[in-house]
């Protein structure tokens, strides 16, 4: 395998079930930049998924009863090992996902921050005492671990989307069966190896790779699974929600987006350009909070567009493992087709290509960072998540108009606005129907904040003390005086 690591033992190609590495490699994992085969991982199905759920159910009995401090210490050791192996983990991540190494290191830090935060939070999962309906009685509200959690994660953040679920779940006392994306299992298995070294007891964390549908079928129907925590596309999220209805599981969904990025005429344009570049082109445009539609007020539209064009032109595209590369490949050629289709549709309906617009000279999975002007609401790019390096600029005239257009989508994950008018910031910030609004910032993700969407972007919050809520049940004891 062509990944040269400082500690080669962190690379794992077997699944992790009940504290053991099991299975043999059948499903290929490739580098999206080169097509080079990296490894084979097991292609597990229903039987192995059932075994993993049973291991997690067995481990739940003791893990949920451990002192919070014990769970915290184990999570803390896992955090320390992730940090110690940051560079190796980043190289594995870039090799299977494609993002530039600097971004991959940033993702490992970000992923680790959830384990650190929830190691601390484990000790603060407090209940409450409520006023009682009887003067001799007391109502004691407990927050108890829900049970086995099924976590299903996407390829675009192969480390962070895992720790954002597994950290709070394990802190609360839940046990986990994780199915990472087929494109990026190596990061997940490396994290599992470090969890093992950190002393996570057998069965508390299980990682299985393989066929999504049969594994998903088990995870959404097995009675021992109490929470299905999913990050990925809206279509699959809806399907898992339907499948989970039979056993009335809690379903926590982090789904797709269609983020508006609104630049008012009083904005700091340099800051807005910087924010647009970060929120649009980070990870090659493959983040769920990616800017999908840039709305610019008419008076500054030309100025903003030419400044943004200059910044887009400078983006260095290449293999993420090379120094100085700012944008890597897309995950596969299907992703390239989608970007191309969005551009073709926009141009046909009257948009103009300002920068880029074509497949990159590097071929295969590479696409030129692209800027379109003259984009209108009837174009596909206004309605669908592109998930690629395409920045379309729309023009607007007034505040009410742009808020209405920004909200005119079934999605509601992230939105961004740039203005220096505090009244406008509150008005627009509160009127935007989104779970997260970045004001004068193109980066909003942090372990300290409750990440999540509304409408068809999801129903869950990950990060901050709110992230624990997905993994605990409230139970009350009514204590009557005798
Ligand atoms: P996807 O829905 O195709 O896959 C996500 C995961 O679901 C993968 O592990 C996949 O193997 C699995 N899966 C697919 N079909 C399944 C089935 N029938 N049963 C069980 N599991 C199944 O999404 P993707 O292409 O990997 O990720 C991109 C999408 O994820 C985008 O829409 C993006 O916006 C979204 N996303 C959302 C967030 C968020 O926090 N809201 C974060 C990252 C990505």
Distance CA 453, CA 455 (A): 7
CA of 232 to the centre of ligand 1 (A): 2
Q: What is the mean pLDDT of residues 241-256?
A: 98
Confidence band (pLDDT; 50, 70, 90) for 1?
A: low
Among 43, 225, 232, 387, the mutation site with the greatest number of ligand 1 atoms within 8 A of its Cβ is 232
Residue 233 Cβ inside 6 Å of ligand 1? The answer reads: yes
Q: Which of 32, 173, 118 is nearest to 465 (CA)?
A: 118
Residue 413 Cβ inside 6 Å of ligand 1? The answer reads: yes
Among 233, 280, 287, 289, the mutation site with the greatest number of ligand 1 atoms within 8 A of its Cβ is 233
Q: Which CATH number fits domain 259-439: 3.40.50.300, 3.40.50.620, 3.10.180.10, 3.40.309.10?
A: 3.40.309.10
Distance CA 56, CA 63 (A): 10
Distance CA 51, CA 48 (A): 5
Closest Cα to atom 14 of ligand 1: 212
pLDDT by residue (tens digit) across 196-207?
A: 999 999 999 999
Closest Cα to atom 42 of ligand 1: 288
CA of 52 to the centre of ligand 1 (A): 21
Question: Where do the CATH 3.40.309.10 domains begin and end in the chain?
Answer: 259-439
Q: Which atom of ligand 1 is nearest to the CA of 257?
A: 34
The pair of three-digit structure tokens given for residue 428, joined into one six-digit string = 């627009």
The phi, psi pair for 162, rounded to 5°, reads -80, -50
pLDDT by residue (tens digit) across 364-401?
A: 999 999 999 999 999 999 999 999 999 999 999 999 99
CA of 413 to the centre of ligand 1 (A): 15
Confidence band (pLDDT; 50, 70, 90) for 481?
A: confident
Residue 239 Cβ inside 6 Å of ligand 1? The answer reads: yes
Yes or no: is domain 8-255 CATH 3.40.605.10? yes
E strands, 170-214, are 175-179, 205-207
Q: From the centroid of its chain, how far is CA 7? A: 27
CA of 428 to the centre of ligand 1 (A): 30
CA of 394 to the centre of ligand 1 (A): 28
pTM over 0.90: yes
CA of 126 to the centre of ligand 1 (A): 32
CA of 215 to the centre of ligand 1 (A): 14
Residue 218 Cβ inside 6 Å of ligand 1? The answer reads: no
Residue 184 Cβ inside 6 Å of ligand 1? The answer reads: no
Spell out the residues 6+ positions from residue 26 whose beta carbon is closer than 8 angstroms to its own: 40, 41, 42, 43
- The pLDDT of residue 3: 87
Q: Phi-psi region for residue 64, left (φ > 0), alpha (ψ -120 to 50) or beta?
A: alpha
Q: From the centroid of its chain, how far is CA 334? A: 20
pLDDT by residue (tens digit) across 42-55?
A: 999 999 999 999 99
| 472-479 β-sheet, strand order | 128-130, 138-145, 472-479
Residue 232 Cβ inside 6 Å of ligand 1? The answer reads: yes
Closest Cα to atom 30 of ligand 1: 232
Closest Cα to atom 22 of ligand 1: 212
Residue 458 Cβ inside 6 Å of ligand 1? The answer reads: yes
CA atoms within 13 A on the CB side of 169: 28
Residue 257 Cβ inside 6 Å of ligand 1? The answer reads: yes
Q: Which atom of ligand 1 is nearest to the CA of 453?
A: 41
Pairing mode of beta strands 128-130, 138-145: antiparallel
Confidence band (pLDDT; 50, 70, 90) for 2?
A: confident
CA of 389 to the centre of ligand 1 (A): 19
> Is 265 exposed, middle or buried (CB count within 10 Å of its CB: 0-12, 13-18, 19+)?
middle
pLDDT by residue (tens digit) across 318-361?
A: 999 999 999 999 999 999 999 999 999 999 999 999 999 999 99
In contact, 126 and 143? CB cutoff 8 Å = yes
Q: Which of 390, 413, 415, 389 is nearest to 402 (CA)?
A: 415
Catalytic site residue 254? yes
Distance CA 188, CA 438 (A): 29
Residue with tokens 């630049």: 263
- The pLDDT of residue 277: 98
Q: Is the dihedral of CA 36, 38, 40, 44 positive or negative?
A: negative
User: Out of 121, 254, 385, 470, which one is annotated catalytic?
Assistant: 254
Question: Would you say residue 444 has pLDDT above 90?
Answer: yes
Residue 25 Cβ inside 6 Å of ligand 1? The answer reads: no
Q: What is the maximal distance between C-alpha atoms in the chain?
A: 81
């Amino acid at each position: 395998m062509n990944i040269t690591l400082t500690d080669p033992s962190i690379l794992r190609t077997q699944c992790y079930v009940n504290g053991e590495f099991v299975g043999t490699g059948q499903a290929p994992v490739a580098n999206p930049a080169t097509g080079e085969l990296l490894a084979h991982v097991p292609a597990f199905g229903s039987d192995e998924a059932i075994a993993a759920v049973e291991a997690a159910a067995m481990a739940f009995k003791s893990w949920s009863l451990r002192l919070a401090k014990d769970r915290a210490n184990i999570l803390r050791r896992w955090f320390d090992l992730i940090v110690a192996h940051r560079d190796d983990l980043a190289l594995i991540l870039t090799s299977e996902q494609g993002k530039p190494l600097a971004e991959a290191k940033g993702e490992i830090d970000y992923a680790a921050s959830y384990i650190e935060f929830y190691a601390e939070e484990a000790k603060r999962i407090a209940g409450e005492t409520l006023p009682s309906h009887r003067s001799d009685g007391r109502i004691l509200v407990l927050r108890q671990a829900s049970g086995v959690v099924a976590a299903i994660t996407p390829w675009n953040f192969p480390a962070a989307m895992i720790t954002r679920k597994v950290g709070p779940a394990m802190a609360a006392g839940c046990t986990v069966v994780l199915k990472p994306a087929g494109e990026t299992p190596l990061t997940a298995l490396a994290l599992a190896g470090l969890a093992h070294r950190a002393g996570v007891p057998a069965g508390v964390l299980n990682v299985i790779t393989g066929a999504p549908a049969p594994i998903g079928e088990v995870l959404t129907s097995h009675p021992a699974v109490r929470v299905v925590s999913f990050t990925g596309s809206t279509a699959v999220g809806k399907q898992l929600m339907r499948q989970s209805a039979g056993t009335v599981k809690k379903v926590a969904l982090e789904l797709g987006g269609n983020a508006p990025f609104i630049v008012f005429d009083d904005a700091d344009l340099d800051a807005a350009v910087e924010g647009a570049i970060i929120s649009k082109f980070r990870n090659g445009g493959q983040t769920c909070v990616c800017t999908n539609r840039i709305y610019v007020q008419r008076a500054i539209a030309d100025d903003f567009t030419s400044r943004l064009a200059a910044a887009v032109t400078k983006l260095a595209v290449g293999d993420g493992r090379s120094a100085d590369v700012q944008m890597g490949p897309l995950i596969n050629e299907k992703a390239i087709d989608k970007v191309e289709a969005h551009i073709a549709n926009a141009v046909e309906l009257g948009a103009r290509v300002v920068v880029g617009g074509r497949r990159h000279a590097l071929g295969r999975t590479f696409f030129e960072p692209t800027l379109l002007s003259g984009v209108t609401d009837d174009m596909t790019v206004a309605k669908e998540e592109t998930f690629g390096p395409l920045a379309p600029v729309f023009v607007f005239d007034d505040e009410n108009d742009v808020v209405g257009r920004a909200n005119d989508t079934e999605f509601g994950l992230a939105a961004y606005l740039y203005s220096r008018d505090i009244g406008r910031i509150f008005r627009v910030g509160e009127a935007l129907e989104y779970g997260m609004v970045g004001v004068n910032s193109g980066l909003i993700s942090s372990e300290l904040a409750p990440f999540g969407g509304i409408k068809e972007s999801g129903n869950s919050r990950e990060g901050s003390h709110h992230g624990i809520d997905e993994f605990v049940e409230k139970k009350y004891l009514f204590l009557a005086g005798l």
